[in-house]
Amino acid sequence: MKKVLRIIAALLLAGIIGGCIYLDSLMPIITGYGAKNMASAVFVSGRDPETVKALDLNFSFIKFDRFKIDYQNKTVTSRFLWRKATALYREGYGVTLLRGAKAAELKEKAFPLPPESVPAEPLPKGDSLECAELESIAEELVDERDYNGHPFAFVVLHKGKVVAERYDEGIGPDTKLLSWSMGKSFTNALIGIMSGDGLVDIDAPVDIPEWQGDGRKAITLRNLMQMQSGLEWNEDYGNRSDVNLMLHVEEDMGLYALSKPLEYEPGTHWYYSSGSTNIVMRWLRGKFASDKEFLGYVRERLFAPLGIRNAVFETDMSGTPVGSSYLYVTAMDYARFGQMFLDDGRVGDRRILPEGWVEYSVSPASDSRGEYGAFFWLNLGGRYPDAPTDTFACVGHDGQQIFIIPSKELVVVVLGYSPKPDRVIDFNGLLRDIIDELD
């Protein structure tokens, strides 16, 4: 009997030790997520930290993080049990989670271009009848939350005019809000502009040195944009996955992602991967002689023509913008971006994206079952059954959405906190009701 009890005790002890080791391996993610998102919410979005903690960070182990906000040095330190992480805000660069370097070392690197201060031209307003018809939907969505979730901002453009605009308490027209994976679609637009300038070829293998000795050397920009690179990847946000390690532990996110081995032949297997976008952004950065040239190109060729001033595309420790996840602009800026794609890559009379680029972006990846194009989600597979099949969308974590519906001349932007699965916004019902009112 004593022998059995000793065996049981040994097994329990081993389980406890194993559990502690695994928990310790999760702590950089737990503390890193809290520090980065609290810092961005406070220093980029200007939100109240108590509201952020009670809403955005009130889940899983993250809700147990304790925060120290240093307003003078613009840092946030997050603690959980015996671990901590610190995130630093820098003007122009936004917030960077400190990994492998001290804050002072990053502060020495000044943003090469000061933020633009020229205000954007206001978008034209729709007629009062259209606005009145959508007013009740805006109220139900944002104020009453009848569509579920917790929306921060809601904008609808119909025929290029603003027909609905509403914000949650503490959020306003000038509040920069997080894109999460909607940033992938902005990366798509940057690639399109560079393609039009002859700087990249989407069907040529990307010349990444680390890939030249194996089958990865055949991967093209098209493969990466369509999430068919064939690289091994785990996008599960609920554990110690590739995406969590990339965003919260690694110094160079693109380098981490491109180090993954080939699992499938390029172009044959669809799997959603934030790592693919960060590989692309790192590669695009390498096409320029300096960060000053690269960041200036992004600002002058992508954001400025859209009327987006003071965009913040946060970088990792290596200095590469996190194209998969960390863009901050206003709700109306997101609407402007959607309108450009609705207008086939034009802003007014000026062509921003090359001819045919939007058509390419919404052409389904071969293995995606009609659900994905090139850094855009599609509705060909019936993702939103009550919306037209020509609907395509920028989709971000926790319910960030830009819907573009060419057949209805419609752009719908919803931003906020809509965690899955029990509190996600009913986007299908929302689109159905908007279309019904406008029809």
Question: Structure tokens of 345?
Answer: 């890559």
CATH code for the structural domain at 131-438: 3.40.710.10
Q: Give CA–CA dist 417/424, Å, rounded.
A: 8
pLDDT of residue 3: 65
Q: Which amino acid is at 198?
A: G
pLDDT of residue 269: 98
Domain ranges of the chain: 2-107, 131-438
Q: What is the DSSP string of 81-112?
A: TTEEEEEEEETTTEEEE--SS-HHHHHTS--S
Angle (deg, nearest 10), helices 128-138 and 427-438: 160
Local confidence pLDDT in tens for the 439 residues of the chain: 666 656 665 556 555 555 555 556 778 999 999 999 999 999 999 999 999 999 999 998 899 999 999 999 999 999 998 889 999 999 999 999 998 877 788 888 888 877 666 667 788 888 877 788 899 999 999 999 999 999 999 999 999 999 999 999 999 999 999 999 999 999 999 999 999 999 999 999 999 999 999 999 999 999 999 999 999 999 998 788 999 999 999 999 999 999 999 999 999 999 999 999 999 999 999 999 999 999 999 999 999 999 998 899 999 999 999 999 999 999 999 999 999 999 999 999 999 999 999 999 999 999 999 999 999 999 999 999 999 999 999 999 999 999 999 999 999 999 999 876 677 899 999 999 999 999 8
Q: Give CA–CA dist 159/410, Å, rounded.
A: 7
CA nearest neighbour of 68 among 78, 58, 60, 59: 78
Going edge to edge, which strands form the sheet with 177-178? 177-178, 327-329, 312-313
| Those residues with Cβ within 8 angstroms of residue 233's Cβ, 6 or more apart along the chain or in another chain | 242, 243, 257, 260, 271, 273, 275, 276
